A and B are shown apart, each in its own frame.
Chain A
Amino acid sequence: MNRLHPRIRLLWVGRSLLTAVVFAGVVFGVGRVVDPAWLPAWAPAAVLVAFGGLGSAFAVLRYRAWRFEVREDSLYLERGVLTKVRTVVPFVRIQHVDTSRSPTERLAGLASTVVYTAGSRGADVSVPGLTPGDADDLRERLKRLAIRSEGEDAV
């Protein structure tokens, strides 16, 4: 079973820290503008530490939980911290495969491979935290497997 690139942890930790900063900022703003009596002065800092710490812990656990494997007839994914989700995407159901790089991913030097099916829920199954080369390789591999599964009867 394959794991994601370790650098994805940095990306996720970064994202949760950013969220923590935003929340702390909001609490700080509320404290300054509204200044309710029950809000202690250390509240923004506490929010920052709490959200940041939780978020970082989550990021690491998420990285640990992520697995994927290209099996004989399907793509198999395992992910999730609180809710563990295992997804099976049969090759015969793959409509098309993309690689995508968001701005933060580009900063971290990573990419994602996104698999599209016709299903309404699993319509975009994406594997994050791959190096650009690996993401392209995975895309090509899945594409070939999807095409081959269509014409398997062609001897």
Chain B
Amino acid sequence: MPRSLSPLSVPYRVLQRGGGLAVGLAFVLSGGVNLPFLGPAGPLVVLAVAGVAAVALVGYETAYVRRFSYELTADTLDIDSGVLSRRSREIPLRRIQNVDISRNVIQRLLGIAVVSFETAGGGETEAQLRYVTFEEAKRLQTELARLKRSASTDAEGSASGAADAGSVEPEPTELFALDRGELAILGALSVDLRVPGVLFLLVSTLGSTVVSTYLSAVPGAALVVVAGVLFVAVAAVSWIVGAAAAIVEYYDFKLVRSGDELQYERGLLQRYDGSIPFDKIQTLTVADNPLKRHFGYATLYIETAGYTPGSSTGSRGSEAAIPLAKRDHVLDLVEELEPVGDVDFERPPRRARRRYLVRSLGAVGVLTGLLYAADSLLSPSIPWWPPLLLVPLAILFAHATWRHRGHWLGEHHVVTRNGVLRRKTKIVPYYRIQTIIDSRSVFQRRLDLATVTIDTAGSLSLGGGDAAAVDVSGATADGLREELETRLGLAVDAYRVGRAGIGFEDEYGQNGAASEGGDDGSRDGDDSVVRNGDDSGENTPGDDAGDGRTSLSDGDADTP
């Protein structure tokens, strides 16, 4: 049954489009712009033109909303839209990965929302409804999830026997909710590092003359004090901005597990209701920084294949599943999503520390050199020795870099850990591995070291977030390459016969038949994994291959 957009869409759309027009109009009318050629009746003419434009806009938007219709059928989402040029779309449901809802403050007041339909592996939203009521948006979310579930159990065929496995609504279980205390701590532990960059840009372009005259009037020692004060001020501003951004983004964050997907809600000004289907998950990342580590907190990111709705950090393809929680809590959730087990990291060989030492001492040297150059070129005498005070810190940092680095080959995952100030522990299931890259720079070759990077689909976020075993010995790298390739092959085989999948509780070596009991979604996880069946973890056309695999797994599932 076709449905329409909410009637409130008309005034909202008009206001949105017409907002700019109204501002321009006010500006012109208040005399900001001189229009002599219109004569004494100038303002009236402008008003008349604006009036006509407004009426046209209202008319257009009303027509658009009235002529927009959408329908969620058993296999497709049909959308008919357009006023002057009509567009009729039928999007197969299996292409739609999830339904995301977003509402800003005004939209929440009006009770409307934007619904975005996302496809797998895409960089864009496939379709959007602007605007429907929030209840309708929620209905679409649950309806789509239900239709996809029943579609996959139908495709599974007679082997399951129980047709009502698909029609049973999975019980959503709340996995995590961010309380006020944790939100406050999250704010306190977030620093926006873009602020220093922007400030530096501003100062260097606008304030350079001011700064140079000021510099010449201040004696050298006081300059260091001034620099120190400035540094503290910039740090404070970065902290405040970072805290505000974090609080706005993760206000009232909730994470719920429902069937074969995770559902989350978050946001203060812009509210998002989205989902992370299990079969879209590529990598789990546990992230922390020294502050968080000290207080025992951590953050969990889930990297997915494809696009996720905007967050202020601009993370593409990654969603914070747990913005901040006690480390144990985070690891418990990780264990629930992916049974990693106890991780025993293998550190790089000790000679790798030489590299880090050279790097950090080199940075100190560069800083000293810069100050020395400034000292000799500029008139006030700038002490060039303060950076040398950082040498002990540099040595400690080099050691810490080595200490926090490690990798581990688990039974079903490879885990890597890197970083000190932004430490990331990445968990990659073997069946999510795309390509394996072993690279050795000139310096690494001298020390017989190598870096093995594990490429996955969707590591476009968090600033180059590939899992990598960095600076391992050459022999270890050779072994890793082979081992990862072998295990990928085994994992792919296991995946195909339906014994693997995130959230699938009876996975890995259990009897396929035993898993057919179908308790809350484990079977569904199996089905969607097998049916989507694409080993890259994304949906691609070519369902013929998919169906072929499904029927094969039916046969295989009988053999333990």
Contact = CB atoms under 8 A, between A and B. Distances in A.
B500 to A, nearest CB: 14
B205 to A, nearest CB: 24
A122 B434 contact: yes
Interface in A87-101: 87-90, 92-93, 95
Interface stretch (A36-44, A55-63, A103-111, A112-120): A112-120
Contacts of B481: 86, 88
Contact of B440 (A74, A83, A93, A154): A83
Contacts of B549: 150-151, 153
B492 interface: yes
Contact of B459 (A74, A85, A120, A150): A120
Contact of B435 (A82, A119, A152, A154): A119
Contacts of B552: 153-154
A124 B552 CA distance: 31
Nearest to B442: A82
Given A120-B458, A120-B460, A122-B455, A92 B489 contact: yes
Interface string B70-102: 000000000000000000000000000000000
A87 B445 contact: no
B455 A90 contact: no
Interface in B420-468: 433-442, 445, 453, 455-460, 466
B334 interface: no
25 contacts: A84-B439, A86-B437, A87-B436, A87-B437, A88-B436, A88-B484, A90-B488, A90-B489, A92-B488, A92-B489, A93-B433, A117-B434, A117-B435, A118-B457, A119-B455, A119-B459, A120-B458, A120-B466, A121-B435, A122-B437, A150-B545, A151-B545, A151-B548, A153-B552, A154-B552
Contacts of B456: 119-120
A35 interface: no
Contact of A118 (B453, B488, B536, B545): B536
Nearest to B452: A86
Nearest to B436: A88
B437 A118 contact: no
A73 interface: yes
Interface residues of A, number: 27
A85 B452 CA distance: 10
A121 B484 CA distance: 17
A82 B489 contact: no
B445 A93 contact: no
Interface string B298-312: 000000010000000
B499 to A, nearest CB: 13
Contacts of B455: 117, 119-122
B535 interface: yes
A86 B438 contact: yes
A95 B435 contact: no
Interface residues of B, number: 40
Interface in A126-155: 150-154
B212 interface: no
A84 B478 CA distance: 13
A95 to B, nearest CB: 7
Contacts of B442: 82-83
Contacts of B488: 90, 92
Interface of A: 73-74, 80, 82-90, 92-93, 95, 117-122, 125, 150-154
B439 A85 contact: yes
B485 interface: yes
B438 A118 contact: no
Which A-B residue pairs are the 10 nearest by beta carbons?
Answer: A119-B434, A122-B435, A119-B455, A118-B536, A118-B457, A86-B438, A88-B436, A85-B439, A83-B441, A121-B455
Given A82-B442, A87-B435, A93-B536, A121 B453 contact: yes
Contacts of A154: 548, 552
A82 B497 CA distance: 43
A93 B495 CA distance: 14
Contacts of B277: none
B540 interface: yes
B519 interface: no
A86 B479 CA distance: 13
B556 interface: yes
Contacts of A151: 545, 548-549
A119 to B, nearest CB: 3
A12 to B, nearest CB: 20
Contacts of A118: 121, 305, 434, 457, 536-538
Contacts of A80: 439
B496 interface: yes
B492 A92 contact: yes
B76 to A, nearest CB: 25
A95 B540 CA distance: 9
Interface in B493-521: 493, 496-497
B83 to A, nearest CB: 38
Nearest to B481: A88
Given A86-B438, A90-B489, A93-B433, 5 more contacts: A85-B437, A85-B438, A117-B536, A120-B458, A121-B455
B434 A73 contact: no
Nearest to B497: A153
Contacts of A87: 435-438
Q: Which of A86, A88, A120 has the most CB of B within 10 A?
A: A120
Interface in B389-439: 433-439
Nearest to A73: B489
Contact of A90 (B485, B493, B496): B485
A109 B143 CA distance: 56
Contacts of A84: 439-440, 445
Interface string B523-553: 0000000000001111010000100110010
